[in-house]
Structure 1
Amino acid sequence: MMCADFTKLTQEVESLDAAGIDIFHMDVMDGSFVPNFALGVEDFKAIRALTDKPLDAHLMIQNPGNYIDLFAKDLGADIIYVHPEADPHIVSTLTKIKSHGKKCGIAINPETSIESIKELFNIIDNILVMTVNPGFSGQPYLDFVTNKIKKIVNYQETYHFKIVVDGAISVDKITELGKIGVNGFVLGTSALFNKDESYQVIMKNLKNLN
Structure 2
Amino acid sequence: MDKLLCPSMMCADFSNLKKDTQELDQAGVDIFHMDIMDGRFVPNFGMGLQDFELVRSVTDKPLDVHLMIQEPSKYVEKFADLGADIIYIHPEADQQAARTLAMIQQKGKKAGIAINPGTSVETILDLLFLVDYVMVMTVNPGFAGQQYLAYTDSKIEKLVGLSKIHHFKVMVDGAISPEKVAQLSKNGVTGFVLGTSALFGKAGTYQEILTELRKY
TM over 0.5: yes
Of 104, 109, 114 in structure 1, the residue corresponding to residue 116 of structure 2 is 109
Task: Report the Cα distance in structure 2 between the residues aligned to 1:157 and 1:62, rounded to whole angstroms.
Answer: 30
Task: Report the Cα distance in structure 2 between the residues aligned to 1:196 and 1:123, rounded to whole angstroms.
Answer: 40
2:186 matches 1:179: yes
How many Å apart are 1:139 and its aligned residue? 0.2
The alignment covers a number of residue pairs equal to 208
Cα deviation 1:83-109 (Å, max 9, x = unaligned): 001111111100000001100000000
| 2:198 alignment partner in structure 1 | 191
2:5 matches 1:3: no
Q: Which amino acid aligns with 2:63?
A: L
| 1:148 alignment partner in structure 2 | 155
2:103 matches 1:96: yes
| 1:72 alignment partner in structure 2 | 80
SS at 1:44's partner residue? helix
| 1:17 alignment partner in structure 2 | 25
Q: Which structure carries more relative contact order (alpha carbon 8 Å, separation 6+)?
A: 2
TM-score normalised per structure 2: 0.95
How many Å apart are 1:15 and its aligned residue? 0.6
2:140 matches 1:130: no
What runs of 5+ residues in structure 2 fail to find an aligned partner?
1-8
Cα deviation 1:20-45 (Å, max 9, x = unaligned): 00010000000000000010111101
Task: Report the Cα distance in structure 2 between the residues aligned to 1:205 and 1:114, rounded to whole angstroms.
Answer: 32
| 1:60 alignment partner in structure 2 | 68
TM-score normalised per structure 1: 0.98
What runs of 5+ residues in structure 1 fail to find an aligned partner?
none
State percent identity of aligned pairs. 57
How many Å apart are 1:47 and its aligned residue? 0.6
| 1:170 alignment partner in structure 2 | 177
How many Å apart are 1:158 and its aligned residue? 0.9
SS at 2:123's partner residue? coil
Task: Report the Cα distance in structure 1 between the residues aligned to 2:117 and 2:74, rounded to whole angstroms.
Answer: 25
2:53 matches 1:45: yes
Q: Which amino acid aligns with 1:62?
A: Q
How many Å apart are 1:122 and its aligned residue? 1.2
User: Which 4+ residue blocks in structure 1 deviate beyond 6 angstroms?
Assistant: none
How many Å apart are 1:188 and its aligned residue? 0.2
CA RMSD of aligned residues (A): 0.6
